[in-house]
Structure 1
Amino acid sequence: MFRRSWRHAAAAAAVLLALSSVTACGDDSSDSEDLSENRVGAMENYAAGTQFKATEPLSFSVLYNNHPNYPLNEDWLFWTELKSRTNVSLEKVAVPLSDYNQKRSLLIGAGDAPLLIPKTYPPDVHAYVSSGAILPVSDYLDLMPNLKDKIEKWNLKPEIDTLRQQDGKFYLLPGLHEKPWHDYSLAVRTDILEELNLEVPKTWDEVYTMLKAMKAAYPDVYPFSDRWSQPNPAGNLLNLLAVSYGLEGAGWNFQHVSWNAQAQQFEYTGATEQYKQMLQYLNKLVAEKLLDPESFTQTDDLARQKLANSKSFVISANAQAVVNDYRPDLAATNPKAKITKIPLPIGPAGEINPASRLENGMMISSKARDSENFVAMMQFVDWLWYSDAGQEFAKWGVEGTTFVKDAAGKPKLAPEVDVVGLNPGAPKHLQKDFGFYNGVFAYGGKPELVQAFFSPEEQEFQQVMNARAPKSPPPPYPLNDEEREQVSLWETPLKDHVYQATLQFVLGQRDFAEWDAYVAELKSKNMDAYLTMVNEAHKRFQEKN
């Protein structure tokens, strides 16, 4: 939902203007609804920045994603402190992480879902809208002043509009980031760069130049041998290149359509000129033996072994992979080796940060609307998930117990508390022993909160990425139930063919002179009908809203 092409500022501005008007439609209808029977426990003067505390003890059920790294503990400080601050207790319906999506579907289908359903990603919502089981939360934003404040201050309306369904409403309260948070890029052996007197590459063209220099110095080595290729071939690498070429996504984030701002319509991602150029770039790397052809099929373990044994110098990475995988691997085989995650190389789309500012979020059961505590529940959700104080609490915990503040008021972990190795050897763990920094409750926020537990190295990476303009989201194209069912029948054959042809073009098994034939093959698999349906849905939504 967040990879797009931005070279036409006027057209993009027109789209955003239209979307701003969309945001004003269909929201805040609770102003005209009679909620007088649903205010038991609610605060009368609740506002942004106000500490929420129910006027009487309340309890709300929540679907709880039970993470194996910090299994649910009813004695956590999180629960007791949450009740102390808000007068609210949570009844957990605990589900193992591995079964979460399936169990959520079963509970909603049976009408047994808890009132609060967190850890839901935007595409997952589509399946539940037509049943009426999920609340159109956009109708009740006036009950959530912290959420409304962040949408306005952070100019998140265009992103929010991507959540809208055909009726103009949205059914998910998403996690919100002030700045996009992009993690994945390439890791490069910087000791090799120093040896060859090379700078860290800033563009994909410079990556090519770097790989050429490495190959010249080490002719028996494939400088770049990649991981994350199972089950999606070159899942990360293709996605990084796709967004750098102005597309919505490829590889493990393959998006069937990308918005063409100049033409003001959606195009099929795998048939665009940008996708062809991306594959030509990769084909050049393979043909010149700069990129290991096994990168598209090999296991992660094999890719790591090649890196550890200096059979390669470049590999896909995120922050954790560098610290937890690559550096320990290299320390065991080559203690002098140094490796660093570099900022995402810049491509034809320019200096953009491709990450979304939305994250997984909260669905609310439509049963909640009839509760006498409905307004109080919405105020509680607004405080815990969207207020600065609630977000700090969910992440850091309790001042003086799990964290302290320095002279400048900046929080830091208490010396006896560890998380992500920041205080190694500390006797207590923020997640396991206290229940804070829990993925059910802690996500989104200002950069200083989101990046609080990042290493100085990762914070430097994020500073570079945050200086880049965030990509604007494409306009909405909500499908109705019949259209969604039809599209689901087309998508798998189309995607499978794109994946197959991608490998053939990149590995030189198919000549680019056959590109038009490949596009014709996509047309035979209903590509044009797919695009017609998407573009008509987009126009229909614009006209209706």
Structure 2
Amino acid sequence: MAFVAAGLLTLGLAACSEDAPDAKDLSGNRAGAMAAYGVGDAFTATEPVSFSILYNNHPSYPLKNEWLFWSELTKRTNVKLEPVAVPLSDYEQKRSLLVGAGDAPMIIPKTYHPQENAFVSSGAILPVSDYLDLMPNLKDKIERWNLQPELDTLRQSDGKFYLLPGLHEKPWAEYSVAVRADILDQLGLAVPKTWDELYTVLKAMKARYPDSYPYSDRWSKPTPGGALLRIVGESYGTQAGWTFQHATWDPAAQRFGYTGSSPQYRQMIEYLHRLVAEGLLDPESFTQSDEQARQKLANGKSFVISSNAQTLVNDYRPDLAKTQPGAKLVKIPLPVGPAGEINPASRLENGVMISAKARESKHFVAMMQFVDWIYYSDAGQEFAKWGVEGTTYTKDAAGKRTLTADVNVVGLNPKGSKHLQKDFGFFNGVFSYGGKLDLMQSFFSPEEMEFQQVMNARKPIEVPPPAPLTDTEREQVSLWETPLKDHVTQNTLKFILGQRPLAEWDAYVAELEAKHAKQYIDLVNKAHDRFQKDNG
């Protein structure tokens, strides 16, 4: 695979190859571009330019035109961004409508693979792998961090990829379980290291507090059990909840299998069913609002909840401080399951699509240089995350960054009256992701650093090989995917909640096959074999 990956990267980096005729002649598209732009260079357009960008408007830090981010970005780069703001709740639907109608902005961020697949056959988005020679920082990080296998998973049947992903130097595990450590102390129990040990903890909590559901979860809208199924599934070697994919790579068999009918998926269901059946997991975890889950935790009706670093600091601890000042909530390393001590996180994050119309712009090269700088250069990533040195942060001789006295974010400077995201527009999910390990961890508290050290010491999961479908195949599987996913989702909940006996598992698998699960996987494995043959 390493040999294949290296060959594929060469294919992708050859931006001006004969396979990429559109990339050959850019002589009419260089207005505003720097004649010499390389790794580490500060990008400044040679004339004022403006680019439209689809903007995911986050309710936690609503868009403000007066943010320092916008003015400082223009000051540094000579680029004015024109955001087309869309509410977070409508982002995916609105993006699809705009791209489908040919009205999408030039730059389209916050796209999670494989969402870009839906736009490839229409020609509405650019095969960005044809233009990597315009993006020296991106190429440099791919090569230095050995990200070829991950990049290859984005490739389509034509050997190209259509999404510029966020790149991490190291996997970043974000989600796990938060547990009331004071209750553990009260019961004389250690922090659980495995899902089986967590079961034992929940049993002890239930025995002491019989009116409670020890584990009551959030993040179940719009995906029922989205976070819970994801983190348990990862530990069981499968994909569920937020990260559900129809096909899962089996390294032992060297084939893809259907996720929702795999032995690992069943094991995950059996574990969660046991928790529900014994009153350890709140059955409302799969339907309740985030607010309801938070209230149960704050009121002592539950003691365990899914979490990441920000929600631990911004939501749960302030909630508990008002109602139970003695409570101590900690995010524990992802409990270990049958898959072993793994770090399930990817080194790729959501990414950026480029509208095909942008290729026609006289400023196209300048735009690609700008995208490379803001998303992939060390300086651009630091700017997007931390802001302006001396205004929002300071840096000591050793390179350690510190928020200035009056600026706060993620609880690092709680006395600060100004917020890095809300008042300045930095650390914004539209622009700020990926990067070197020290930058990625630069906002982490000491306890989050401990969490990351444990997770980074674990073995990364194997990157699945490419299995890109042709347009015809994708059109076929698109007819199967929704009915299959709906059936998996509905029956996953039924099995877990005891509304359908696990004795009917074989019947459920037969139902999936009646909905073309086997044909689906046969197509994926055929695509995998074809891609290896064509590009190996």
The answer to whether TM tops 0.5 is yes
Residue 24 in 1 paired to residue 10 in 2? yes
Inter-CA distance 98–223: structure 2 relative to 1 (3 Å threshold):
closer
After alignment, is 286-295 or 116-125 more displaced?
286-295
Tell me whether 1:126 sits opposite 2:117 in the alignment.
Answer: yes
**Partner of 1:153 in structure 2?**
144
Q: Structure 1 residue 269: deviation in Å? A: 0.9
Instruction: Indicate yes or no: 2:432 matched with 1:442.
Output: yes
Greater shift, 111-120 or 531-540, is seen at: 111-120
Task: State the distance in 2 between where 1:55 and 1:31 align.
Answer: 28
Aligned partner of 1:174 among 162, 165, 183: 165
- TM (normalized to structure 1)? 0.90
2:182 match: 191
Q: Could you tell me how far apart the structure 1 residues matched to 2:170 and 2:254 are?
A: 26
Match for residue 431 of structure 1? 421
Q: Distance in 1 between matches of 2:48 and 2:105?
A: 18
* Cα distance in 2 for residues equivalent to 1:113 and 1:532: 35
Larger mean CA deviation between 463-472 and 378-387 belongs to: 463-472
Report SS of the residue matched to 1:122: coil
For 1:287 and 1:66, locate their aligned partners in 2 and report how far apart those are by CA, in whole Å: 40
Contact 2:313 2:410 in 1 (8 A): no
Alignment partner of 1:90: what SS? strand
Partner SS, residue 491 of structure 1: helix
CA offset at residue 527 of structure 1? 1.2
Structure 1, unaligned runs of 5 or more = 1-14
Structure 1 counterpart of 2:250: 260
1:507–1:421 distance in 2 versus 1, CA, 3 Å: closer
* SS at structure 2 position matched to 1:91: strand
Matched, 1:520 2:510: yes
Aligned runs of 1:307-386 on 2, under 5 Å? 307-386=297-376
Equivalent residue letter for 2:313: V
Aligned partners of 1:228 and 1:95: how far apart in 2? 21
Residues 19, 475 of structure 1: 8 Å contact kept: no
Secondary structure of residue in 1 paired with 2:42: coil
Structure-2 residue corresponding to 1:12: none
Cα distance change, pair 45–542 in 1 and its aligned pair in 2 (3 A)? same
2:488 maps to which of 483, 498, 508: 498
| Alpha-carbon distance between aligned partners in 1 of 2:88 and 2:295, rounded to the nearest angstrom | 30
Match of 1:3 in 2: none
Gaps (5+ residues) in structure 2?
Answer: 19-23
Matched-pair contact (CA < 8 Å) for 2:314–2:410: no
Q: 1:288 to 1:111 in 2, by over 3 A?
A: closer
What amino acid maps onto 2:157 in structure 1? Q
Structure 2 partner of 1:467: 457
Q: Does the 8 Å contact 2:45/2:78 carry over to 1?
A: yes
User: Distance in 2 between the 1:86 and 1:474 partners?
Assistant: 38
Q: Distance in 1 between matches of 2:490 and 2:59?
A: 36
Deviation at 1:347, TM superposition (A): 1.0
**Alignment map for 1:404-415 (pairs within 5 Å):** 404-415=394-405
After TM superposition, what 4+ stretches of structure 1 lie above 4 angstroms from structure 2?
none
- Secondary structure of the residue aligned to 2:114 is helix
Inter-partner Cα distance in structure 2 for 1:84 and 1:299: 43
Give the whole-Å Cα distance in 1 for the aligned partners of 2:229 and 2:348.
Answer: 22
- Cα contact 2:50–2:81 (8 A) shared by 1: yes
Deviations 1:162-216 (A, max 9, x none): 1111111011111111122222211111112112221111111211222233334
Cα separation, partners in 2 of 1:398 and 1:224, compared to 1, 3 Å: closer
The residue that corresponds to 2:225 in the other structure is 234
Give CA-to-partner distance per residue, 1:224-279, whole Å, 9 cap, x none: 333334444433222111111111x1123322111111111111111111112222
Does structure 1 retain, via aligned residues, the 8 Å contact 2:13–2:139? no
Provide the C-alpha distance between the structure 1 equivalents of 2:431 and 2:384, rounded to a whole number of angstroms: 6
Q: Which amino acid aligns with 2:317?
A: R
Partner residue, 1:276: 266
Within-5 A mapping of 1:212-223: 212-223=203-214
- Could you tell me which amino acid in structure 1 is paired with residue 48 of structure 2? P
Q: What does 1:100-111 align with in structure 2 at a 5 Å threshold?
A: 100-111=91-102
1:72-117 Cα shifts (integer Å, max 9, x gaps): 4444333333233223333333444444334433433343333222
Which letter maps to 2:249? W
Name the TM-score, length of structure 2 as normaliser: 0.91
Structure 1 residues 126 and 84: CA distance shift in structure 2, 3 A: same
Kindly tell me: are residues 16 and 214 of structure 1, through their superposed partners in 2, closer, same or farther at Cα, counting changes over 3 Å? farther
Q: Is the 8 A contact 1:27 1:169 kept in 2?
A: no
Partner of 2:154: 163
Rounded to whole Å, the distance in 2 between the matches of 1:381 and 1:231 is 31
Residues 314 and 411 of structure 2 are in contact (CA less than 8 Å); yes or no, is this contact kept in structure 1? no
Aligned to 1:5: none
Moved more, 146-155 or 289-298: 289-298
1:35 matches 2:21 = no
Other structure's SS at 1:187 match:
strand
* C-alpha distance 514-412 of structure 1, shift in aligned 2 (>3 A): same
**Structure-2 change in CA distance of 1:499 and 1:436 (3 Å):** closer
Do the aligned partners of residues 506 and 62 (structure 1) sit closer, same or farther apart at CA in structure 2, a change above 3 Å counting?
Answer: closer
**Equivalent residue letter for 1:166:** S
2:21 aligns with none
Distance 1:107 1:504 in 2: 37
CA distance in 2, matches of 1:310, 1:433: 34
1:108, 1:231 → 2: CA distance? 23
1:114 matches 2:114: no
How many Å separate the matches in 2 of 1:428 and 1:288? Answer: 47
Q: CA deviation at 1:26?
A: 4.3
Cα distance in structure 1, aligned partners of 2:389 and 2:146: 31
Distance 1:106 1:313 in 2: 42
The corresponding residue for 1:8 is none
- C-alpha change, 1:329 and 1:413, in structure 2 (3 Å) is closer
Give, as a single letter, the amino acid of the residue that structure 2 aligns with 1:80. Answer: S
Please report how far the alpha carbon of residue 16 of structure 1 lies from its aligned counterpart in structure 2 after TM superposition: 4.3
String of CA shifts for 1:11-30, please: whole Å, max 9, x gaps. xxxx4443332222244232
Instruction: Give SS of 1:30's match.
Output: coil
d(CA) in 1 for partners of 2:440, 2:490? 38
More divergent stretch after superposition (82-91 vs 234-243): 82-91
User: For residue 203 of structure 1, what is the aligned residue in structure 2?
Assistant: 194
Q: Distance in 1 between matches of 2:183 and 2:502?
A: 34
User: Which is worse superposed, 351-360 or 226-235?
Assistant: 226-235
Q: Residue 82 of structure 2 is aligned with which of 91, 107, 113?
A: 91
Three-state SS of the structure 2 residue aligned to 1:24 is: helix
Checking the alignment, whether the CA contact within 8 Å between 2:313 and 2:411 is kept in structure 1 is: no
CA distance in 2, matches of 1:254, 1:303: 23
Shift of 1:386: 0.5
2:293 aligns with: 303
Distance 2:130 2:356 in 1: 12
